[in-house]
Amino acid sequence: MSGTSLDGVDAALVEFSGAIPRILATAYLPYPDDLRRQALNLHQEQRGEIHLAQVLANELAQVYAQAVRAVLEQGAVPASAIRALACHGQTIRHQPGLGYSLQLNNPALLAELSGITVVADFRSRDIAAGGQGAPLVPAFHDALFRDATRHRVILNIGGISNITDLAPGRPTSGFDCGPGNLLLDAWAQRHLGTPFDEGGRWAQTGQVQTDLLARLLAHEFFALDPPKSCGREQFNLAWLTGCLSGAEAPVDVQATLTALTAAAAQQAITRSNGSPEELYVCGGGAHNIALLRELEHRLPTTTVKTTEALGLPADWVEAVAFAWLAQRTLAGLPGNLPDVTGARGPRILGAIYPA
């Protein structure tokens, strides 16, 4: 899994023999600076972008193959023992309203390099059926985390945040609720020179600027009814800069961006799901103490924990989810939830590239 944060590749070796997927090994491979810069540049139209995208797709396949080798070595498992390799690819354009979402990848090359059958291109089938193509992980959340009596919400905080509502007696719902780590990381990189604000420590030394927060929350995306999804097209540094007066201290902007991520999630949860008893956080944002505290403050009647409490480490939920989706693909079973994505019905997701 390589997501909107553009930090690197998560690889998880997963066994599905029990009720809860068993993680046998994990590996994380950070993106080289040049690769990350190329991927970020391709979010904007530029001369020669088709060639640049294809070359980068090949480079990504090489990085994905390295991550596969690392996780197999960590788990002491040969490639021949693996049924399939799920690879989401690196999103550079997400335009479901125009009928497409582009994840850079070369799954044929990845199958060649790894010797493992690859399942890729998970979003296209849902979009072809009129859906958003995202988020796709709520189906996995439903299968793994639903409780018959307790109202739970799963909040995945990657570059973009998305929620999954697991209310007893109601169909599972979910949608993107806005920026997660995307703006927080970009602002930290600009002003701290670090990949991210570790633990939210810098943000905790700043003050939330209520006027700025109101301007940020005025973005039209937040008022849209689900199904909905978003990405860097809506939330980026250029948009953030346009909302600033210029008088804000950088640390106060970071504190306000933390409040934005929490407020967007809280508004999405209460608007669509009422007051759940439990909120479980996964993704990189689960390590941001300032963000978790802000969520607790904004959801005072809800118990806030990470998915570790449900038996699955927060860092690996999404990678395991796509392994689960690949398993569904190979079994000829649908992987989307129409109530979440807005597709016309359940669809088998992904394209298969045999080893």
The mean pLDDT of 11-34, rounded to a whole number, is: 94
- Based on the domain organization, do 106 and 30 belong to the same domain? yes
The total number of structural domains in the chain stands at 2
| Confidence class for position 271, pLDDT limits 50, 70, 90 | confident
Confidence of residue 352 (pLDDT cuts 50, 70, 90): very high
Q: Are residues 304 and 330 in the same domain?
A: no
> How many percent of the chain have pLDDT more than 90?
95
In this structure, is residue 100 part of a structural domain? yes
Instruction: Provide mean pLDDT across the span 76-100.
Output: 96
Q: Is the pLDDT of residue 273 over 90?
A: no
Same domain membership, residue 237 and residue 143: yes
pLDDT tens sequence across 145-192: 999 999 999 999 999 999 999 999 999 999 999 999 999 999 999 999
pLDDT attached to residue 237: 95
Phi and psi of 353, rounded to 5°?
-115, 100
Q: Do 266 and 345 lie in a common domain?
A: no
pLDDT digits (tens, 9 = 90+) for 191-214: 999 999 999 999 999 999 999 999
The pLDDT assigned to 228 comes to 96
Arithmetic mean of pLDDT over the chain: 96
User: Which tokens belong to 11?
Assistant: 């690889």
CATH number at residue 155: 3.30.420.40
Range of the domain at 282: 138-314
Q: Say whether both 251 and 331 belong to one domain.
A: no
Residues 155 and 206 in one domain: yes
Residue 19: pLDDT band with limits 50, 70, 90: confident
Tell me, yes or no, whether 292 lies in a domain: yes
Q: How confident is the model at residue 31 (pLDDT cuts 50, 70, 90)?
A: very high
- Same domain membership, residue 149 and residue 297: yes
Question: For position 16, what pLDDT does the model report?
Answer: 94
Predicted local confidence at residue 275, as pLDDT: 87
Torsion 350-87-322-338 (CA) sign: negative
Q: Is the dihedral of CA 185, 189, 195, 199 positive or negative?
A: negative
> Which residues contact residue 104 at a Cβ distance below 8 angstroms, ignoring those fewer than 6 apart?
39, 42, 53, 56, 57, 60, 89, 90, 91, 92
| Co-location of 74 and 204 in the same domain | no
Q: Is 46 domain-assigned?
A: yes
Write down the pLDDT at residue 26: 98
Give domain status of residue 2, yes or no.
no
Is there a single domain that holds both residue 292 and residue 147?
yes
Show contacts of 94-97: CB within 8 Å, 24+ apart.
Answer: 94/133, 94/134, 94/229, 94/230, 94/231, 94/233, 95/233, 96/127, 96/131, 96/132, 96/133, 96/134, 96/229
Res. 272: pLDDT tops 80: no
**Mean predicted confidence (pLDDT) in 14-22:** 91
| DSSP output for 221-251 | HHHPPSS----TTTSSHHHHHHH--S-S-HH
Q: Across residues 24-28, what is the average pLDDT?
A: 98
